[in-house]
Amino acid sequence: MDNSFAQRRRRDLLLAAGFTAVAALVPLFVKDVYVQNIMVLTLMYAALSQSWNILGGYCGQISLGHALYFGLGAYTTALLFSKFGVLPWFGMIGGGLISAVIAMALGYPCFRLRGHYFVIATIVIAEIAYLLFLNWDWAGAALGIDIPVRTDSWLTFQFTRSKLPYFYFALGFCVVAWLVTFWLQDSKWGYWWRAVKDNPDAAESLGVVVFNSKMGAAAVSAFLTAVGGSFYAQFVSYIDPESVMSFHFSLLMALPAVLGGIGTLWGPVLGAVILIPLTELTRSFIGGSGRGVDLIVYGTLIVLIALARPEGLIGLFSRKRKGASR
Amino acid sequence: MTALLETKGVWQRFGGLIANSDISIAVEPGEIVGLIGPNGAGKSTLFNLIAGVLPPTQGSILFNGEDVTRLPAAQRCQRGIARTFQVVKSFETMTVIDNVIVGALIRTTVMREARRKAYEVLEFAGLAARANVLASELIPSEKRRLEVARALATEPKLLLLDEVLTGLTPVEAQTGVELVRRARDTGVTVLMVEHVMEIVMPLVDRAIVLDLGKVLVEGKPADIVRDPKVISAYLGDRHAVGA
Ligand SMILES: Nc1ncnc2c1ncn2[C@@H]1O[C@H](COP(=O)(O)OP(=O)(O)OP(=O)(O)O)[C@@H](O)[C@H]1O
Ligand SMILES: [Mg+2]
């Protein structure tokens, strides 16, 4: 029996440790606040896309409604803190749990839908939630929530003077999302998910409980996504439905994985590192109303990828290892 | 001796079409039973009912003495029923060994153990050399063998094979026959659908012939091939059988 599998796992871990170490050192040399801001967002989207990838990539249930979980994380944290003085860390866990439960409640009917119908359902549901929050007065409605400023500390998770703590949190988040994926990938769940994605009938015949697999993937994915939303609320310190629940976020979570390599361990990170700086630069280059333009950029990239390398950019690295289970 | 598998008066209707009508068969432990019959006779449908893809319109299915009629497919696999599909359903984006690991995971959740087991089954099925190749890159005969390997990895008591030898070259088919025999020698009971009489008849202990959704005859292979009802069913001349 060959041990190429174990070797590959070890190599992935070493690579991750190396990248993390390098990333951790970057802020020592890059002092520009604008660039640091982009780095924080890049790490955040890498982690978010990694979370999205668990459901969309591994399990094959393409969601374009993850903005819902992102928003729930952000809102739970912001509301608990501004209304009840509950520390953001509890909001983060709470938002994660709420999202996981809601993901399963929504999955109950939606996972019976196949293919395009599922995708459309996710879009519609997220849009409904967006409209609900837009009209929910207690949650600030369209005006949103200004998170009250306290002293800078890790306890309140507020830092007005420096971006660095956010950077390191985002890096940690990214590492955690990666490790969760790394661990799940070589677990019963990981195999079940990929089997469900490739052929649900065959999976069921081999003892895979397809429905439960999807539910599990949805819960993990939604939990992690909400943690990201919670972080984002602290990072920008002001949220409204438009800034945390719009369709735009759903796209930004899915695209890095699609670009880098859907259902792969490294795809989301690779995709985010390319896509997010590109997005931010386009936005600042065009000016305040760059949102429409970055959508054009994504669209173009995705079409190019779909045509040239449907397995994502990660395929460029693994051509030699064709057939390796990534 | 109690039968490993028993179907009691099983019916399956698809709208107005009766795919299985009043089928009562039994399979004893350790047997290789052939399920034969012309196109559209209802063989794959019966497999689907036994494997739990759909519940029968009427009738019941007993496995090991337990009524499994309403159990979902995954739980039947847990009980020891494994199957292959007439139209192969490999996990195309996964490697050969990963395909088999999915099957092995029903008996263990320790990955190292599942991987070891999967490799063992691949060696048994003669696919070990292809372990790290994507399933989509296999040639058709290898895909069929992968289906069998995947099913064997679930450690079944009953293995349902739906035309695993069809469309193979004579040499490949012979390898397949050997594989089925060796599987039976490890204690697996086999119920197999096959079209090509010359291949199945020497292999099976007993054959059941389906025609138009009904059991036409069952018995020893030697008697079956000479049975005029079977011959006319295969020739399509149904009126030749005295009504
Ligand atoms: N899901 C279904 N819905 C409607 N009709 C079906 C379905 N499955 C099978 N049938 C019909 O039931 C009949 C029996 O089909 P089945 O696939 O069981 O035959 P078979 O004996 O396996 O034939 P073959 O040798 O061609 O594989 C056919 O007429 C088929 O069209
Ligand atoms: Mg058939």
The structural domains of chain B, ordered by start, are 5-242 (3.40.50.300)
Q: What is the pLDDT of residue A160?
A: 75
Closest chain A C-alpha to B161 CA, distance in angstroms? 13
What does each C-alpha distance from B186 to B51, B176, B227 come to in angstroms?
21, 16, 32
Does the beta carbon of B122 lie inside 6 Å of ligand 1? no
* Residue A182 CB contacts under 8 Å (≥ 6 apart), including other chains: A12, A13, A16, A265
* Residue A184 CB contacts under 8 Å (≥ 6 apart), including other chains: A54, A58, A190, A193, A220
Cα B135 to middle of ligand 1, angstroms: 27
B136: left (phi over 0), alpha (psi -120 to 50) or beta: alpha
Q: What is the pLDDT of residue B239?
A: 46
Q: What is the pLDDT of residue A316?
A: 77
What gap in Å lies between CA A249 and CA A70, rounded to an integer? Answer: 8
**For the stretch B152-185, what's the b/e string if a residue is b when 16 or more beta carbons lie within 10 angstroms of its beta carbon?**
bbbbbbbbbbbbbbeebeeebbebbbebbeebbe
Q: What is the pLDDT of residues A62-116, one digit of tens each?
A: 999 999 999 999 999 999 988 888 788 898 999 999 999 999 999 999 888 877 8
Q: Are B122 and B199 in contact (CB under 8 A)?
A: no
On the 0-12 / 13-18 / 19+ scale of CB atoms within 10 A, A12 is: middle
| CATH code of A154's domain | 1.10.3470
What does each C-alpha distance from A91 to A77, A98, A158, A228 come to in angstroms?
4, 10, 14, 12
Does the beta carbon of B43 lie inside 6 Å of ligand 1? yes
Of B74, B91, B115, the CB nearest to A198: B91
Q: Do A205 and B77 touch (CB under 8 A)?
A: yes
What gap in Å lies between CA B70 and CA B92, rounded to an integer? Answer: 30
Q: What is the pLDDT of residue A85?
A: 81
Chain B residue with Cα closest to A190: B102
Residues from A in contact with B at Cβ < 8 Å: 1-2, 4-5, 186-188, 191-192, 194-195, 197-199, 201-210, 263, 322-325
When pLDDT is averaged across residues B197-215 and rounded to a whole number, the result is 90
When pLDDT is averaged across residues A300-325 and rounded to a whole number, the result is 67
Alpha helices, DSSP H only, in A30-152?
33-53, 67-84, 88-110, 116-134
Closest by CA to A297, choosing from A288, A307, A286, is A286
* Residue B225 CB contacts under 8 Å (≥ 6 apart), including other chains: B197, B201
Q: What is the pLDDT of residue A321?
A: 47
Is the pLDDT higher at A160 or at A131? A131
Q: Are A170 and A178 in contact (CB under 8 A)?
A: no
What does each C-alpha distance from B161 to A4, A192, B20 come to in angstroms?
32, 23, 18
Closest chain A C-alpha to B99 CA, distance in angstroms? 8
Cα A149 to middle of ligand 2, angstroms: 69
- 3 state SS for chain B: CCCCEEEEEEEEEECCEEEEEEEEEEECCCCEEEEECCCCCCHHHHHHHHHCCCCCCEEEEEECCEECCCCCHHHHHHHCEEECCCCCCCCCCCEHHHHHHHHHCCCCCCHHHHHHHHHHHHHHCCCHHHCCCEHHHCCHHHHHHHHHHHHHCCCCCEEEEECCCCCCCHHHHHHHHHHHHHHHHCCCEEEEECCCHHHHHHHCCEEEEEECCEEEEEECHHHHHHCHHHHHHHHCCHHHCCC
| B85 contact residues in A (CB cutoff 8 A) | 201-202, 205
Q: What is the pLDDT of residues B21-75, one digit of tens each?
A: 999 999 999 999 999 988 899 999 999 999 999 999 999 999 999 999 999 999 9
Q: What is the DSSP letter of A323?
A: T
Beta bridge partners of B193: B35, B162
How many structural domains is chain A composed of? 1
Closest by CA to B137, choosing from A324, A34, A262, is A324
What gap in Å lies between CA B58 and CA B73, rounded to an integer? Answer: 18
* Chain B interface test: which of A206, A210, A264, A314 (most B C-beta within 10 Å): A206
Report chain B's mean pLDDT, rounded to a whole number: 91
When pLDDT is averaged across residues B12-17 and rounded to a whole number, the result is 93
When pLDDT is averaged across residues A20-42 and rounded to a whole number, the result is 90
What sign results for the dihedral spanned by CA atoms A264, A268, A273, A279?
Answer: positive
Q: Do B150 and A206 touch (CB under 8 A)?
A: yes
φ, ψ (nearest 5 deg) of residue B108:
-150, 150
Residue type at A91 in one-letter notation:
G
Cα A22 to middle of ligand 1, angstroms: 60
Residue type at B125 in one-letter notation:
A
What gap in Å lies between CA B61 and CA B5, rounded to an integer? Answer: 7
Q: Do A194 and B137 touch (CB under 8 A)?
A: no
A163: left (phi over 0), alpha (psi -120 to 50) or beta: alpha
The environment of the single-atom ion ligand 2, i.e. residues with CB closer than 5 A, is B 43-44, 86
Cα Rg of chain A, angstroms:
19
Structural domain range at position A151: 2-325
Does the beta carbon of B86 lie inside 6 Å of ligand 1? yes
Lowest-confidence segment of A52-56, A313-317, B98-102 by average pLDDT: A313-317
Of B73, B91, B105, the CB nearest to A188: B105
Q: Do A324 and B94 touch (CB under 8 A)?
A: no
What gap in Å lies between CA B37 and CA B211, rounded to an integer? Answer: 6
Q: Are B203 and B9 in contact (CB under 8 A)?
A: no
Token pair 């292959």 in the structure block, residue: B84
Q: What is the pLDDT of residue B242?
A: 41
When pLDDT is averaged across residues B3-9 and rounded to a whole number, the result is 94
